[in-house]
Structure 1
């Protein structure tokens, strides 16, 4: 399953807020076997959101969009997704019913626009917040608040999957440049995915759908770089 992530917010582009949502979602999707092919940050602009989401929805199996879902002036995520599919924003009957069924929410206390979603969307309940999310075709619209986003994703996590890759990590106390030839041989010999990440040492991550192959590749590399 190939997935793209779109995170919405001027504050992300300005560096005022760290984009932890993208990192968290990418890790959870990878754990489930999905492949994250793109991560994009866009401003609070309906036209930009609509253009990018529409383009990704045509290419990938699913698109996850996170951003402000409330009724304030800069909460444009849902409207942008609606525009991507040429759908109107309506007072969604399922969203209305959800708030009516939960006694802690008084309809008169909800801000105008809280129950507005794209027409024919599937409502995603916000268990730790207020404004609901939605699924529009293959696009999942989640809140920007991390705790709300995480809870909402967990509720639909079973809809994402693929071939899970097993990971082995080898730490190497050498310059990364010295590993070029041995990593090339490793990939050819075991047909594994390999990533190298320099820091105090070099972390070499080896991925394969067969755990025995991943472990054998890690052992082979360890023998040559120890």
Structure 2
């Protein structure tokens, strides 16, 4: 399953917000056997978002878009997805009823906040999704995400985004498998082994150089676990190996 990730937000491009969503999603997708082929960050530009959704929904098995979906003027992500897929942007009645109940409960529990900030909630905007889309509702979120065709729209807020992904994560099961070998050898000395393993086995190989605090890595992937295992055994006979770094040392498995 080939997946593209689009993260939307002026604040990410300005450097004021770190794009943890893309790395978190890529890791979870890879764990499930899917292959992430593109990661792109773009501004809160409705036409630009729509253009990428239009083109990438045809080019990839799935597209994940994360960004503002709350119904405020700068939250254009869901509306742009509707544009890109040439669908009307409509109020979803069940979502609207849910948000009305949630807003009433919030006002009852926080009357001082409502009065102090003159809180106005645009229920219809938050309850709108592309026509025919399936809502992705999480308990802690306000506006829902949605699935329309092969495009998944998640909130930009990390906790809400992760909850939305977890609710549909089983849909990203793929058949790719991978193993990682750790080595103290400098990357320049690995050329012969890396060339040899790709000649002998139908695998993809990534080599990542060592740094001061962690060893180098060789990552071998394929759709066939037995081929990966054979390729890794071949490499271990030819490359000096070391134990994986612990997370306390700043590494990751």
Q: Shared fold by TM > 0.5?
A: yes
SS at match of 2:70: coil
Task: Report the alpha carbon displacement of residue 212 of structure 1 after superposing the two structures with TM.
Answer: 4.0
SS in structure 2 opposite 1:225?
coil
The gaps in structure 2 that reach 5 residues or longer are 108-119, 241-253
Compute the displacement of 1:104 (Å). Answer: 4.2
Relative to structure 1, the CA distance from residue 173 to residue 26 in structure 2 (aligned partners, 3 Å threshold; closer, same or farther) is same
- Separation in structure 2 between the aligned mates of residue 94 and residue 159 of structure 1, nearest angstrom: 24
How far off its partner does 1:71 sit? 1.7
Structure 1 stretches lacking a partner, 5+ long: none
Which one of 237, 242, 246 corresponds to residue 223 of structure 1? 237
What is residue 148 of structure 1 aligned with on the other side?
A: 160
Query: Does the aligned pair in 2 maintain the 1:196–1:204 contact within 8 Å?
Result: yes
Q: Which residue of 1 aligns with 2:6?
A: 6
Matching residue of 2:80: 80
Give the match for residue 131 of structure 2: 119
Q: Cα–Cα, structure 1 residues 99 and 71, in superposed 2: closer, same or farther, change >3 Å? A: closer
1:35 — aligned with what?
Answer: 35
1:71 corresponds to which residue? 71
Contact 1:99–1:107 at 8 Å: present in 2 too? no
Aligned partner of residue 106 in structure 1, secondary structure: helix
Show the 5 A alignment for 1:1-226: 1-99=1-99, 103-106=101-104, 111-112=121-122, 113-165=125-177, 167-200=178-211, 201-226=215-240
Compute the RMSD of aligned alpha carbons: 2.0
When normalised by structure 1's length, the TM-score is: 0.90
What stretches of structure 1 move > 3 A for 4+ residues in a row?
97-100, 107-110, 208-213
Question: Mean Cα displacement is larger for which, 212-221 or 149-158?
Answer: 212-221
Mapped partners of 1:62, 1:169: distance in 2:
26
How far did 1:162 drift? 1.7
String of CA shifts for 1:103-158, please: whole Å, max 9, x gaps: 54428967112112222221110222111111121111100001100111111112
Deviation at 1:77, TM superposition (A): 0.5
Q: Is the 8 A contact 2:8 2:65 kept in 1?
A: yes
Give the TM-score normalised by the residue count of structure 2: 0.81
Does the aligned pair in 2 maintain the 1:187–1:194 contact within 8 Å?
yes
Q: CA-to-partner distance for each residue in 1:172-194, whole Å, 9 max, x for gaps?
A: 22221221121111122232221
**1: distance between equivalents of 2:102 and 2:95?**
15
**Whose Rg is larger?**
2
